[in-house]
């Protein structure tokens, strides 16, 4: 897929490229970002930023495997990053982080809502997952503001720089945002969903 651009009231969401290497490298020097983002090496070197903007991000779009958006303010400053990685047919996983100087302003929540709507309508995603290491309260707060249902804790589910840690997992469905699914959904609890009668297994 060719990269797309999304807009919100305050942000421009577009893919990143070599022209954004300096901004990504500078933002990635923040201690909290390196602590909580398991994919971030520490120390985070300029070569890591070059690889991300020059290869990882564009390859993800080209292969329809990961859709990366930089969160840019109207003046061009980078406010954060967001990515949706395809995990299975109809299932994507969202990840995000904010730059240190732009935290606490609702930018990531705003971007995550826009990206979720795009994933449900343009990618035929029927389940969007969110995961964060237990203790990453800001990430969980964003997920809950967007509308994710936190489903539980997965033991030893993430490897953060060589240490296995527990993580929270949550999900967002199209119906949570008032959007239709691409296929009928029959919850384990409840009766008639999308016109399909509920019959327990014999």
In a domain, residue 192? The reply is: no
In a domain, residue 108? The reply is: yes
Can you give the pLDDT at residue 190?
58
- Tell me which residue range forms the domain holding 33: 6-127
Q: For residue range 40-89, list pLDDT tens digits in order.
A: 999 999 999 999 999 999 999 999 999 999 999 999 999 999 999 999 99
Domain of 41: which CATH number?
3.40.630.30
Task: Count the domains in the chain.
Answer: 1
180: left (phi over 0), alpha (psi -120 to 50) or beta: beta
In a domain, residue 180? The reply is: no
* 107 touches 95 (CB < 8 A): no
In a domain, residue 201? The reply is: no
Can you give the pLDDT at residue 196?
47
Measured between its terminal Cα atoms, the distance across the chain in Å is 45
Running along the chain, 202 residues long, what does each successive block of 10 average in pLDDT?
98 98 98 93 96 98 98 98 97 98 98 98 97 98 98 97 96 98 87 48 49
In a domain, residue 1? The reply is: no
In a domain, residue 54? The reply is: yes
Can you give the pLDDT at residue 189?
79
In a domain, residue 92? The reply is: yes
| Helix (DSSP H) and strand (DSSP E) numbers for the chain | 6, 8
């Amino acid at each position: 897929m060719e990269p797309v651009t999304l807009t919100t009231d305050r942000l421009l969401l577009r893919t990143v490229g070599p022209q954004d290497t300096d901004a990504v490298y500078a933002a990635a020097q923040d201690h909290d970002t390196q602590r909580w983002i398991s994919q971030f090496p520490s120390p985070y070197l300029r070569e890591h930023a070059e690889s991300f903007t020059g290869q990882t991000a564009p390859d993800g779009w080209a292969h329809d495997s990961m859709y990366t958006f930089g969160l840019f303010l109207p003046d061009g400053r980078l406010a954060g990053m967001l990515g949706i990685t395809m995990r299975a047919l109809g299932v994507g996983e969202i990840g995000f982080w904010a730059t240190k100087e732009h935290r606490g302003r609702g930018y990531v929540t705003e971007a995550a809502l826009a990206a979720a709507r795009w994933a449900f309508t343009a990618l035929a995603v029927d389940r969007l997952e969110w995961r964060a290491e237990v203790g990453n309260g800001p990430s969980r707060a964003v997920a809950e503001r967007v509308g994710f249902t936190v489903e539980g804790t997965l033991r030893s589910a993430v490897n953060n720089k060589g240490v296995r840690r527990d993580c929270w997992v949550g999900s967002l469905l199209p119906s949570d945002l008032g959007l239709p699914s691409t296929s009928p959904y029959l919850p384990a609890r409840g009766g008639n969903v999308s016109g399909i009668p509920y019959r327990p297994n014999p």
